[in-house]
């Protein structure tokens, strides 16, 4: 659980591809202004100590997808979150969202295994003091299968992946695309360009990050690069909302 993992193999790639086209539940919307949601996966303490203040300084809130099995551990992302981090985020107006408990790969597990894991995660987060309802879910590693999309659709308002894209006109709430704030200079530039494109072509952009530290992992970024992305969002004029609130605004469904 502590080591980085990249899903591979032709079966995984095939499942990931067909999941884009099957078990869809589309919402349609017409935006006259852009919306950006900034999210954090797993999540390391640096996403709280560096990420939350940077958002709050602009009056923004983020979405934190928590895997409770990581509580207090040290992983390749650094020291992971604890109960005080969860409390600090809730008091700061951020959304706490759901991963699987042990960061289970949803493309390889059965529906029963995934549901058992996420229910374990929900119970653990409640025991740690989380008060809000977990209405957003992200697939660990961005992986899923059509059967998992179907099984989770009634449990959460949105299910998020990691396939890059900006939602314009419609979105599959069972597999939202997202752009990473990672990948070194090239990856950061892609995130900046995605944000800047919203100024002349509105849409809903979901961004995701992991660690934010001076020497980040491949899946993280430096505090300076995180600020560069936030500055690009600022310049775009986009409204920044949590994933939960953005979905409510676009779908008309209550949070």
* Tens of pLDDT, residues 162-198: 999 999 999 999 999 999 999 999 999 999 999 999 9
- Burial zone of 93 (CB within 10 Å; 0-12 exposed, 13-18 middle, 19+ buried): middle
- Domain 31-251 part of CATH 3.20.20.370: yes
Q: 240, 195, 190, 222: which is closest to 39 by C-alpha?
A: 240
Mean pLDDT along residues 11-30: 74
pLDDT surpassing 90 at residue 11: no
Q: Which range is least confidently modeled, 16-25, 84-93, 129-138, 181-190?
A: 16-25
Mean pLDDT along residues 100-122: 95
- Under a CB-based contact definition with an 8 Å cutoff, are residues 61 and 55 in contact? yes
Confidence band, pLDDT 50/70/90 cuts, at residue 3: very low
pLDDT surpassing 80 at residue 233: yes
Which residues touch 127 (CB under 8 Å, ≥6 apart)? Answer: none
Provide the terminal-to-terminal Cα distance of the chain, rounded to the nearest Å: 32
Question: What are the pLDDT digits (tens) for 29-65?
Answer: 999 999 999 999 999 999 999 999 999 999 999 999 9
d(CA 220, CA 211): 5
The mean of the pLDDT values for the chain is 93
| pLDDT for position 128 | 97
Confidence band, pLDDT 50/70/90 cuts, at residue 21: low
Mean pLDDT along residues 128-139: 97
| pLDDT for position 143 | 87
pLDDT surpassing 50 at residue 5: no
pLDDT surpassing 70 at residue 13: no
pLDDT surpassing 90 at residue 22: no
d(CA 84, CA 77): 18
Domain map (residue ranges) of the chain: 31-251
Looking at per-residue pLDDT, the higher value among 24 and 126 belongs to 126
């Amino acid at each position: 659980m502590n080591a980085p993992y990249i899903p591979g193999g032709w079966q995984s790639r095939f499942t990931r591809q067909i999941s884009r086209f099957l078990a869809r539940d589309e919402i349609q919307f017409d935006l006259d202004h852009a919306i950006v949601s900034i999210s954090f996966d797993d999540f390391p303490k640096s996403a709280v100590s560096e990420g939350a203040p940077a958002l709050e300084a602009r009056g923004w809130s983020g979405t934190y997808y928590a895997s409770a099995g990581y509580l207090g551990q040290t992983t390749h992302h650094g020291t992971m979150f604890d109960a005080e981090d969860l409390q600090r985020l809730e008091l700061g107006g951020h959304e706490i969202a759901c991963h699987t408990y042990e960061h289970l790969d949803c493309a390889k597990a059965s529906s029963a295994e995934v549901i058992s894991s996420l229910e374990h995660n929900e119970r653990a987060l409640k025991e740690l003091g989380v008060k809000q309802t977990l209405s957003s879910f992200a697939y660990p590693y961005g992986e899923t299968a059509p059967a998992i999309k179907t099984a989770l659709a009634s449990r959460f308002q949105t299910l998020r992946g990691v396939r890059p894209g900006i939602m314009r006109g419609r979105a599959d709430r069972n597999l939202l695309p997202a752009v990473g704030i990672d990948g070194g200079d090239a990856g950061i530039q892609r995130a900046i360009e995605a944000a800047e494109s919203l100024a002349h072509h509105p849409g809903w952009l979901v961004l995701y990050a992991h660690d934010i530290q001076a020497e980040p992992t491949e899946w993280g970024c430096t505090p300076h690069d995180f600020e560069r992305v936030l500055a690009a969002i600022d310049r775009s004029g986009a409204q920044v909302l949590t994933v939960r609130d953005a979905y409510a605004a676009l779908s008309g469904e209550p949070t």
